[in-house]
Amino acid sequence: MLKQIENFSVHLRGRNLSAHTLRAYESDLKEFAAFMSLRGRLAVRDFTIQNIRAYLARESQKEIARNSMLRKISALRSFAKYLSNRGITAANPFKLFAAPRRERLLPKFLTEAEAAKLMDAEPSVRFAARNKALLELLYSSGLRRSEITGLNAGDVNFTEGFVKVLGKGGRERLVPVTDIALEAISNYLSTRAAANAHAPLFLGSRGGRLSGEGLAQIVKKSALKSNLARKITPHGLRHSFATHLLNNGCDLKTLQEMLGHKSLGATQIYTHVSPERLKIVYESAHPKSSGGGDK
């Protein structure tokens, strides 16, 4: 089984999956292999629905998030399909397996005031220009963590006000960027040695391409310096970008294109009403509120 998991990992790397998904699937399958090893059942013939259910039952006792459990199931289901399609196993053990539905949680986002406060965070002295450019670009474009760290210097079109992004599944798209973000990026690039079009746009502390973990730390430290009362991540800024655009009149189809979602359904999670917008509508509409009803 260990050999087949290794072969499956190689197979996944050729499918244009995100680095995050690859790491998660490989980690989940290694966990499953460790579980099976403890039971002394590491042969491919032991990859049965009974053993899969035993593993998932153990994982459910850890009180992990529902969506994390669904990802583990997805990793095992993909592995089962791989084995079945290649004739390595006689049948797919997931044929009769009914997975629970994905939990649809409201996205976590900043208010517009909080986002403005974060953009004005006092950056570290050494990386002030870079961090300012990163925060402004994250909030103005809603890029995924892997997308922003994957940008090259030549992907920024300062004339037209776009960045060229390589998203999930190798899909390329153009995303608008604010003038403030473009100015911050230009200022950052002026502090560096001349970069060719294929050089990383954002560099880490050691001079190589900034990693996703490095980006997360920059956002975390900036939030602390801004005295924000809540935890914020790069994905939280993506949620904030989407929520604020919809609150200010952006339509779903346009937002879908900017976010790089394959289906409109993935974008519809942002159609929730923010507390700010809810309060404004309530105050203007309820007859007993200070600003609503016929006076």
Query: Which residue in this structure is represented by tokens 């929730």?
Result: 272
69 Cβ contact partners less than 8 Å away, ≥ 6 residues apart: 56, 59, 60, 100
- Can 168 be counted among the known catalytic residues? yes
- Can 238 be counted among the known catalytic residues? yes
- Can 139 be counted among the known catalytic residues? no
User: Catalytic pick from 72, 132, 239, 261?
Assistant: 261
45-59 residues labelled b (16+ CB within 10 A) or e (exposed): eebeeebbeebbeeb
And the tokens for 113?
A: 């005031």
User: Catalytic pick from 55, 82, 139, 270?
Assistant: 270
Alpha-carbon distances, residue 238 vs 40, 227, 241, 242, 271 (angstroms): 45, 20, 5, 6, 14
Task: Judge contact between 200 and 152, C-beta under 8 A.
Answer: yes
User: Catalytic pick from 144, 145, 239, 244?
Assistant: 144
User: Catalytic pick from 168, 173, 220, 225?
Assistant: 168
Query: Which residue in this structure is represented by tokens 């760290």?
Result: 149
- Can 286 be counted among the known catalytic residues? no
User: Catalytic pick from 164, 220, 235, 277?
Assistant: 235
- Can 270 be counted among the known catalytic residues? yes
User: Catalytic pick from 72, 130, 132, 238?
Assistant: 238
- Can 66 be counted among the known catalytic residues? no
Task: Judge contact between 249 and 273, C-beta under 8 A.
Answer: no
In sequence order, what DSSP letters do the residues of 249-275 get, joined into one string? T--HHHHHHHHT-SSHHHHGGGGSPPH
Position 157, amino acid: N
Query: Which residue in this structure is represented by tokens 């292999």?
Result: 33
User: Which residues are the active-site residues?
Assistant: 144, 168, 235, 238, 261, 270
